[in-house]
Amino acid sequence: MIFKCKNCGGNTIYDPDKGTMCCPHCDGLDSEEKVTGTETMKSCLSCGAPLDEVIGEHTSATRCPNCGSYIILDERVQGAYTPKLIIPFKVSKNKAIDLLHKEFGRRVFTPSSFLSRASVSKIEGTYVPFFMYDYNTDSDYHGTGTKVRTWRSGQYEYTETSYFDIHRELEADFDKVPVDASDYMDDQCMDLMEPYDYAALEGFMEKYMSGYLGEKYNRDEEELASRAVKKLTDAIESMIGDSISGYATVSKKSLNVDAKKKLAQFALLPVWEYVFSYGGEDYRFFVNGQTGKVVGRTPVAKGKVFAYGATVFGVIFWIMSMIRLLLAAFV
């Protein structure tokens, strides 16, 4: 499908600054109509150019290489691939470019071509597929803590180490633990993109995709559930760790997490992606399309992923509707 302007026939796109559909050709607002192709999309609905070069295995929205129109592939946003939730773009293309300038404009490692107009204008907004998992968890932790007492008597110094059994039980419900469902997107980068403000999740509407690229999920929620469990287990371990204090040392003996999946919802989250080619290699930079957080691998420190800039949400894990920590039986 394509969204066209009723006034001038141009391709209307979702404008993050205005928060509505906009025609870049005549500045018409909310003047769009949805035009649907008759069969599986192989050519542009605006100019007829072939699209096979820009449609990959998982592509759900793309840009015509000939006329620049944004096309959404019906069969990849419908049926089993219908997204349940979406966070529409909040950061515009110009704002994303500004943020890259702010982070890298004055850095020594930055090659001069990195932020050149020609290069940086190739930045594209992409809706990355995610699954959002809801889990009920019951956890049981056992550890050993030590307390050390030293004193001096005469010419001797005495040290007494006492050992304590530490036991914690934690019941917690996790809502919307995000796991990216794209093979192309680097998991580490996507994890660093977080947090999004999940309160801004909306019911999916196709028009939010107009003006952006997109992918359907590459793997299903069953395949990706183990990554959600890993994330919430890490969160549980850190919560339990925070509840233990007053010991010289603490060592974990066991942590059993019984995680029951309640729900998995397919969602699209907004990311600006800038691919910078330098010295025969591609370096990928991402700007969170909602919060503006910048993540990327620099040409200098190869392989290492950096997150730049603070997010406005601080360190929120996910929305947890219920937490019950039992300080059970510790001696």
Q: Are 9 and 28 in contact (CB under 8 A)?
A: no
Q: Which is nearer to Zn ion, 47 or 322 (CB)?
A: 47
Q: Is the peptide bond before 195 cis (omega within 30 degrees of 0)?
A: yes
Q: Which is nearer to Zn ion, 9 or 241 (CB)?
A: 9
Supply the DSSP symbol for 49: -
For residue 172, what are the CA distances in angstroms to 133, 203, 237, 320? 14, 26, 12, 7
**Residue 209, φ and ψ in degrees, nearest 5:** -85, -15
Q: Which is nearer to Zn ion, 74 or 237 (CB)?
A: 74
Q: Which is nearer to Zn ion, 8 or 312 (CB)?
A: 8
Q: Which is nearer to Zn ion, 8 or 205 (CB)?
A: 8
Q: Which is nearer to Zn ion, 49 or 257 (CB)?
A: 49
Q: Are 129 and 181 in contact (CB under 8 A)?
A: yes
For residue 185, what are the CA distances in angstroms to 45, 175, 191? 28, 23, 10
8/314 Cα distance (integer angstroms):
44
253/167 Cα distance (integer angstroms):
10
Shortest Å distance, C-beta 192 to Zn ion: 35
Q: Residue 177: what residue type?
A: V
Shortest Å distance, C-beta 93 to Zn ion: 19
- Take residue 125 and report the two structure tokens written for it: 């907004």
Instruction: Find where tokens 């509407």 sit.
Output: 205
51/45 Cα distance (integer angstroms):
10
Which spans of this chain sit near Zn ion (rule: CB under 5 A)?
Answer: 5, 7-8, 10, 23, 25-26, 28, 44, 46-47, 49, 64, 66-67, 69
- Take residue 226 and report the two structure tokens written for it: 């183990």
